Amino acid sequence: MRLKNDWTGDIMAQEIININGMMCDHCQARVEKAIKAVKGVKNAKVDLSKKQATVKYDESVTDIGKIEKAVADAGYEVVDHNS
């Protein structure tokens, strides 16, 4: 999904990423921190009960592949993503 930022006029993308391997609050925090560290990510919210991350990012700076790699590098498995 594409969203327009009313403040800057930038076009942002939003993806929901399904993630395996998260078991606790520490896992949730680790995944969220890894995603937020990717340059171009504007917001990330990880839902432990749904095993999902909702990510808003600037497509001119990053892409879903880099975000998925950050999740994998943190030790978790990306199952798929939906826009």
Return the pLDDT at 4. Answer: 55
How many domains does one find in the chain? 1
Return the pLDDT at 5. Answer: 55
**Tokens coding 50:** 């749904």
In 16-76, where does DSSP find H-type helix? 25-36, 64-73
Rounded Cα–Cα distance for residues 30 and 42 (Å)? 17
pLDDT tens string, the chain, 83 residues long: the values are: 555 554 556 678 999 999 999 999 999 999 999 999 999 999 999 999 999 999 999 999 999 999 999 999 999 999 987 86
- Cross-strand pairs, 16: 54, 82
pTM of the model: 0.87
Q: Answer for the pair 36, 44: CB distance below 8 angstroms, yes or no.
A: yes
Rounded Cα–Cα distance for residues 10 and 45 (Å)? 20
The CATH number given to whatever domain includes residue 24 is: 3.30.70.100
Domain with 7 in it? 2-82
